[in-house]
Amino acid sequence: MTIRSIVTAAFCSLSLVATASEPADSTVSSWINKVKRLHVGGYGEAVFTRNFYSDRYQRYTDPASAANDGGHGRFDLPHVVIYLGYDFGKGWSMGSEIEFEHGGVESAFEIETEESGEYEKEIERGGEVALEQFWIQKTFMKQMNLKVGMQIVPIGATNAHHEPDQFFGVYRPEGENTIMPCTWHEVAVTLWGEAANWRYQLMFLPGLDSERFGNQGWIHDGSASPFEFKIANNYAVAARVDYRPVKPLRLSVSGYVGNSFRNTLYDTSNSRNEGIRGTVTIGSFDFAYNTGNFIARGFFDYGHLSDAAEISRFNISMSKNSTSKRQSVASDAIATGVEAGYDVFSLMGSKAVRNQRLYPFARYDYYNSMYKMETGSGLQWCNRQKISAGLNWYPIKQVMVKAEYSCRLLKNPYNNEPSVSIGVGYSGWFF
């Protein structure tokens, strides 16, 4: 008996049993219909990088001493993500996303034989495990959907399009990944919809925490919380609009406004802190042009933080045991980037590469997390440019192999930071 005949017989038997012993709505066809409502997918990346510059932490405070240091290599799993969603029917659905960053976290208790048999907790692997999305959605019509729960804040190009097949580099675009949370996710309420060539999102969410702002990353860590809950003394709104004037082209604008000071458990009642709001305002434009053979993408982000000098003073004065970076923070930050690539396999008539794609690409980024200061001057090494070039090969649609040379360009007296990276990834729905 062949495998096919065995499977056919099994399904026929299952159908007979279900029909005889279960209600009509529990037949095999009903079961299959329920399974079709289940959505399972994800994406992941594995990367090797060789950095041809010093990895010592003094390379910015004492660049001359680090100029002749050797390079260093890294193996990494930047992101491994599992999507799980279900359509309950009657307009109700749910979605979730579990993300393992840099291999996740591994810890264990061990008995130390050299220390009188004491139990010690060993950290065996760094990284993060996060529930990046979990939401319930009610769809009223195509033009209006209501989503509640943990979800992505769609500010900038990378937050809205962060899967590995949506950017050319081995790692996500560095500028947005530096000055803003990425991927930025919050428990929020979102109204969104589509009409003709337009798509909109309007989001109500908790404000950022200025206690966690810093010089190198501006507001990057402000969305995180060291507690089992997200403090919401302040609130914010975010919005995004996408427009497709023609099929290959997408034009998008997004913005965010919200106060960040006092969004903490730390006492801020001192009279010196009166009137401080720490309002974060971000404006962003991004685009994508994709004909299949030619792809170009770009973005421009500008952010402003009010009361930056007062927030810097407050953070620097905090206890060493606090979660603050205890650093100065800029009033303004900027990031911009553009990339383009062409599928050279589309120029070939060979059947061997008919269903494959190979994109040589080039990329340029500029970003500065201390673009403007309310008082004093920013750190010059936070003003960076980065040039990149490489290849993206898609042997099949869902799998990609990436190779990239990049060089981070810093002003004198700081040293440039060249590197070579190779990565493999996947992105798609399994079910």
Sign of the torsion angle spanned by Cα atoms 270, 256, 45, 347 = negative
Q: How many other CB atoms sit within 10 Å of the CB of residue 390?
A: 22
The b-or-e profile of 358-389 (16+ CB within 10 A means b, else e) is bbebebebbbbbbbebbeeebbebbbbbbebb
Q: Which residues are CB-neighbours of 102 under 8 A, at least 6 positions away?
A: 76, 77, 78, 126, 127, 128
- Residue 117 DSSP class: T
Q: What's the first-to-final CA gap in the chain, in angstroms?
A: 29
Q: Which residues are CB-neighbours of 199 under 8 A, at least 6 positions away?
A: 192, 193, 241, 242, 243
Q: Output the 3-class SS for 327-396.
A: CCCCCEEEEEEEEEEECHHHHCCCHHHCCCEEEEEEEEEEEEEEEECCCCCCCHHHEEEEEEEEEEEEEE
Residue pLDDT, tens place only, 331-378: 999 999 999 999 999 999 888 788 899 999 999 999 999 999 998 888
All domains of the chain in start order, with CATH: 128-429 (2.40.160.10)
Say what the pTM is: 0.88
Instruction: Give the pLDDT of residue 254.
Output: 98
Ramachandran area for residue 85 (φ above 0: left; ψ -120 to 50: alpha; else beta): beta
Give the Å distances, CA to CA, from 167 to 10, 239, 338, 359, 402: 45, 22, 10, 11, 11
In the numeric block, the tokens 């810097």 are attached to: 312
Instruction: Select from 380, 406, 417 the least CA-distant residue to 54.
Output: 417
Cα distance between residue 81 and residue 345, in whole Å: 30
Residue pLDDT, tens place only, 147-199: 999 999 999 999 999 999 999 999 999 999 999 999 999 999 999 999 999 99
Sign of the torsion angle spanned by Cα atoms 343, 344, 346, 347 = positive
SS3 category, 177:
helix
Please say whether the beta carbons of 392 and 27 come within 8 A.
Answer: no
pLDDT in tens, the chain (431 residues): 444 444 344 434 434 444 444 455 557 777 777 788 999 999 999 999 999 999 888 899 889 988 888 899 999 999 999 999 999 999 999 999 999 998 877 665 555 444 455 555 656 667 778 889 999 999 999 999 999 999 999 999 999 999 999 999 999 999 999 999 999 999 999 999 999 999 999 999 999 999 999 999 999 999 988 888 889 999 999 999 999 999 999 999 999 999 999 998 888 888 889 999 999 999 999 999 999 999 999 999 999 999 999 999 999 999 888 888 899 999 999 999 999 999 999 999 888 788 899 999 999 999 999 999 998 888 999 999 999 999 999 999 999 999 999 999 999 999 999 999 999 999 999 88
Largest CA distance in the chain: 85
Instruction: Give the pLDDT of residue 70.
Output: 85
